[in-house]
Amino acid sequence: MTAQIIDGKKIAQNIREQLKLEVSKLSVKPGLAVVLVGSDPASQTYVNSKEKACQEIGFYSEVHRLPETIGESELLALIEKLNQDPKIHGLLVQLPLPKHINEEKIILAVNPAKDVDCFHPVNTGALFSGFDTGILPCTPAGCIELIKSTGVALSGKKAVVVGRSNIVGKPAAMLLLQNNCTVTLCHSRTADLSAEVRQADIVIAAVGKAGLITGDMIKPGAVVIDVGTNRVNGKLTGDVDFVSASQAAGFITPVPGGVGPMTIAMLMKNTMIACLNPFNPL
């Protein structure tokens, strides 16, 4: 059996075209501010893609590129300024931040109504409690869209998430639960990862270990979503060993061209929602 490839690039492009059409009908221009501290190459690439997507869709966009040495108080002052700026509906600070800056303090400083990453505890708490703010965490929401694109129903399925990060694993588990999956959240201390993954009708791999999930772990016909973005000899590689996994899976995402473009598309969608959000005080 050879899996059908889930074309994240195409699905993301459709979402962006839909947003472009909606923006053209609005009297306000949704605005996204992105703050990048330092020169991490992966972060620079992500931020450039976010800026480009805004321009293509017709959003107002600001990117603040700050030196690695910036002080925490200066960064907090910039966030406060952007919180108050009526042109800005979505505001995100690219992670990771340099060690001398307290990441939690920065996440807490972002106005929850502008938190298009869905990182603020007000928004993660809302997600946990099932409150509908309209804002969903970008990468996990992208994964759900990709699963739904296969036509496979989520309700009642066994889903295994590998990785418990705040950005992907934990919120992905929560979204799968909301979609009535029976969810297992695996991590570095999981006793028998292969046995857990082998049970799964749906697998989301988000650990950052190239090729960790191999074909022998995949239940025949499963939907496999690979969030991994590992550099191996200069080449972008997922957490799933694509060659062996695609022999067993029913559907699989490629890396690149799977989850990555969806993260950006969902961020754009969140920015549109934040702009239209009546709870936004500005």
Annotated catalytic, 132? no
Cα 154 to chain centroid, rounded? 19
**95 belongs to the binding site for ligand GUN (CB under 6 A):** yes
Out of 6, 79, 92, 204, the residue judged to bind ligand GUN by CB under 6 A: 92
Contact between 94 and ligand GUN (CB under 6 A)? yes
Q: Identify the active-site residue in 115, 117, 226, 241.
A: 117
For the bound state, the minimum distance from the C-beta of residue 260 to ligand GUN, rounded and expressed in Å, comes to 10
Rounded least distance, CB 219 to ligand GUN, Å: 28
Nearest 10 degrees: CA dihedral of 42, 44, 45, 48? 160
Residues 6+ apart with CB under 8 A from 250: 1, 3, 4, 150, 152, 220, 221, 222, 223
For the CB of residue 247, give the shortest distance to ligand GUN in the complex, in Å. 30
Q: Give the H/E segment covering residue 64.
A: strand 60-66
Residue 164 annotated in ligand binding: yes
Note the Cα 40 to chain centre separation in Å.
Answer: 18
CA distance 55 to 109: 26
* Residue 117 makes contact with ligand GUN by CB under 6 A: yes
- Per CB under 6 A, the list member of 75, 135, 138, 245 interacting with ligand GUN is 138
Residue 104 CB-density burial (10 A; 0-12 exposed, 13-18 middle, 19+ buried): exposed
Q: Is 226 a catalytic residue?
A: no
What is the rounded CA–CA span in Å between residue 236 and residue 253? Answer: 14
Catalytic-residue membership of 192: no
The number of residues that bind ligand GUN (CB under 6 A) is 9
Catalytically active residues, by annotation: 50, 94, 117
Q: Which residues form the interface with ligand GUN (CB under 6 A)?
A: 92-95, 117, 138-139, 167, 263
Binding site residue list: 163-165, 229
